Amino acid sequence: MRTQPSKALETFPNPRPERDFQIHMQIPEFTCLCPKTGQPDFATLTLDYIPDQLCVELKSLKLYIWSFRDEGAFHEAVTNRILDDLVAATQPRFMRLTARFYVRGGIFTNIVAEHRAPAWQPLPRVDLLNSFDRDSNTRD
């Protein structure tokens, strides 16, 4: 059975909608084409989100990402388009997409796009130190 790229993003119900929890994904094989030269552009995408009622299904996300392989797109435009499509599919409380494009002509490009649901307020961050960190922070 052969799999084909697709723009369809599938979702499934959030198993714990009463809780804020972060989903973190690394997508190291994103490719699209430079709209000026037609040469391939390569990026690692990092997706972080706090779901509300829906989560994105991973196989559909993989096929969605694959669908950009033969499309020409500026880095800024494709990053924002992917974020917009993911937000439309999942309606998350928070979502951040970071696109780290590999060097071309001596320039690295990093694009960070975010979405926040209007009524959502993040809980304060909790940083826990392990005993080694506490001990090392008190030494002279």
CATH of the domain at 107: 3.30.1130.10
Q: Helix, strand, or coil here: 80?
A: helix
Is the residue at 3 inside a domain?
A: no
pLDDT in tens, the chain (140 residues): 468 999 999 999 999 999 999 999 999 999 999 999 999 999 999 999 999 999 999 999 999 999 999 999 999 999 999 999 999 999 999 999 999 999 887 889 999 999 999 999 988 888 888 766 555 555 54
Q: Which of 20, 32, 34, 48 is catalytic?
A: 34
88: in domain: yes
| Residue 123, φ and ψ in degrees, nearest 5 | -70, 155
Question: 5 lies in a domain?
Answer: no
Is 20 marked active-site? no
In a domain, 6, yes or no: no
Q: Has residue 70 been placed in a domain?
A: yes
Is the four-CA dihedral 70, 75, 79, 80 of positive or negative sign?
Answer: negative
For residue 75, tell me if it sits in a domain: yes
Is 34 labeled as catalytic in the residue annotation?
A: yes
Indicate the number of domains in the chain: 1
pTM exceeding 0.75:
yes
Task: Give residue 73's domain range.
Answer: 11-138
